[in-house]
Amino acid sequence: MKKFAFLLLMSVQLNAQTVPTQLPKHIQDVAPKVIEMRRYFHQFPELSNREFQTAAKIEAYMKEFGIETRRLAGTGVVGILKGGKPGAVVGLRADIDALPVTERNDLSFRSKAVADYNGQSVGVMHACGHDTHIAMLLGTAKVLSQLKNEVPGTVVFIFQPAEEGPPANEEGGAPLMIKQGLMDNPAIDAVFGIHIQSTMEAGKLGYKSGSFMASSDWFKITVKGKQTHGANPWLGIDPVVVSAAIIQNLQTIVSRHSDLTLAPAVITVGKINAGVRPNIIPEEAVLEGTIRTLDAGMQKDIHQRIQRMVTQTAAAYGATAEAGLGFSFGFLT
């Protein structure tokens, strides 16, 4: 509740205008609607670049609030509210995609959605709070539409798809929205976004100077060994063992090579794929993971160290390995 109120205040205070006296009452009145909307989006989540039902529902709500919308990046929704007073153009942004996670609880509005993700049937859940972000921004849109004559400048409501990253070989998310003209029509002076945090006490806001949300890069490491029978490991080169060594060594990049007094960093391997039978040492293993950094220089250094660590660890075992590092969002690389 206080978080979406923060979005409301940012939209008017950037223009150095007095906050309308009726704002608190409008916030209180819209709160039940925000809860209702959040529970709907939580119950019907969709994966990145597949937010078809979500986008349509957002458009329906915005139409109900009297705000015209347009589509960008396929499932991205943009609404524009022109206020009754002169002022800047302010963007307010929320992400709308969910994650391939199965929800396990007894909530009446829990997700039962199932979808295809990289060839696998998976549960789908708003496990990162994007359902709340959608509802917060819709609540903000409703209140500002009711106070349209008092709003200074123009407010651009940005519902961004694919924040978690588009599927392989697809464009999406913020980069595609910007590529298609999000920031130019109208020209946006500043954009505000907010992310809920389950570890923060309810009713409080957290902020800091400098970087707050980390950059997010992805990597894929392909380890090449030599296939052999599991009973005769000396006749081959085991890429699974090599992968285990690489995973352990990657952690030393953060714990022993990164200046954590400057900024924190994280390297996580979240996916391992190797082999077809338990008694065959496979020829290849593939590792995938993410890199999170809060400093551009550290980001570049970690990328370089991963390349070196991967190739040299594999060489020590008589194998070969290649690290493909992909930039998702965050600092310029």
User: Do residues 235 and 187 share a domain?
Assistant: no
Q: Residue 290: which H helix or E strand, with range?
A: strand 284-293
User: Do residues 111 and 224 share a domain?
Assistant: no
User: Do residues 14 and 143 share a domain?
Assistant: yes
In this model, does residue 193 exceed pLDDT 50?
Answer: yes
Q: How far apart are CA 43 and CA 131, in angstroms?
A: 9
For residue 235, the number of C-alpha atoms closer than 13 Å in the C-beta half-sphere is: 9
The predicted structure's pLDDT at residue 10: 56
In this model, does residue 178 exceed pLDDT 80?
Answer: yes
User: Do residues 235 and 271 share a domain?
Assistant: yes
Residue 210 lies in a domain: no
User: What is the biggest distance separating any 2 CA atoms in the chain, rounded to whole angstroms?
Assistant: 79
Q: How far apart are CA 189 and CA 232, in angstroms?
A: 65
Residue type (1 letter), 270: G
Confidence of residue 7 (pLDDT cuts 50, 70, 90): low
For residue 60, the number of C-alpha atoms closer than 13 Å in the C-beta half-sphere is: 7
For range 262-274, the mean pLDDT: 96
Residue where a domain stops, chosen among 193, 223, 258: 193
If one compares 196 and 210, the residue with the highest pLDDT of the two is 196
The predicted structure's pLDDT at residue 332: 40
Q: How far apart are CA 7 and CA 193, in angstroms?
A: 8
In this model, does residue 153 exceed pLDDT 70?
Answer: yes
Instruction: Give, as one character, the DSSP assignment of residue 19.
Output: P
For range 234-252, the mean pLDDT: 98
Residue 208 lies in a domain: no
- Helix extents (H) in 65-183: 130-146, 173-179
Q: How far apart are CA 141 and CA 157, in angstroms?
A: 7
Residue 171 lies in a domain: yes
The predicted structure's pLDDT at residue 328: 57
Q: Residue 298: how many CB atoms within 10 A of its CB?
A: 21
Residue 122 lies in a domain: yes
In this model, does residue 278 exceed pLDDT 60?
Answer: yes
Q: Residue 82: which H helix or E strand, with range?
A: strand 76-82
Residue 201 lies in a domain: no
- Which of 145, 143, 179, 136 minimizes the C-alpha distance to 68? 145
In this model, does residue 294 exceed pLDDT 90?
Answer: yes
Structure tokens given for 292: 């999170």
Residue 202 lies in a domain: no
Query: By residue range, what is the domain housing residue 320?
Result: 215-329
Please, are residues 26 and 143 in contact by the beta-carbon 8 Å criterion?
yes
Between the CA of residue 170 and those of 45, 65, 152, 173, 175, what are the distances in Å? 20, 32, 38, 10, 12
User: Do residues 186 and 220 share a domain?
Assistant: no
In this model, does residue 119 exceed pLDDT 80?
Answer: yes
User: Do residues 39 and 143 share a domain?
Assistant: yes
Confidence of residue 207 (pLDDT cuts 50, 70, 90): confident
β-strand pairing of 85-95 with 190-193: parallel
For range 103-126, the mean pLDDT: 96
Q: The CATH number of the domain where 223 resides is what?
A: 3.30.70.360
Q: Average pLDDT, whole number, for the chain?
A: 92
pLDDT in tens, 51-81: 999 999 999 999 999 999 999 999 999 999 9
The predicted structure's pLDDT at residue 3: 60
Q: The CATH number of the domain where 148 resides is what?
A: 3.40.630.10
User: Do residues 224 and 146 share a domain?
Assistant: no
User: Do residues 183 and 303 share a domain?
Assistant: no
Residue where a domain stops, chosen among 163, 193, 223: 193
User: Do residues 271 and 151 share a domain?
Assistant: no
User: Do residues 188 and 293 share a domain?
Assistant: no
User: Do residues 89 and 226 share a domain?
Assistant: no
The predicted structure's pLDDT at residue 270: 96
Confidence of residue 333 (pLDDT cuts 50, 70, 90): very low
Q: How far apart are CA 329 and CA 333, in angstroms?
A: 10
In this model, does residue 331 exceed pLDDT 60?
Answer: no
Confidence of residue 18 (pLDDT cuts 50, 70, 90): low
User: Do residues 47 and 77 share a domain?
Assistant: yes
Angle, alpha carbons 215-304-264 (nearest 5°): 40
Q: Name the domain count of the chain.
A: 2
Residue 78 lies in a domain: yes
Residue 45 lies in a domain: yes
Residue where a domain stops, chosen among 136, 161, 193: 193
Structure tokens given for 37: 């909307």
The predicted structure's pLDDT at residue 8: 57
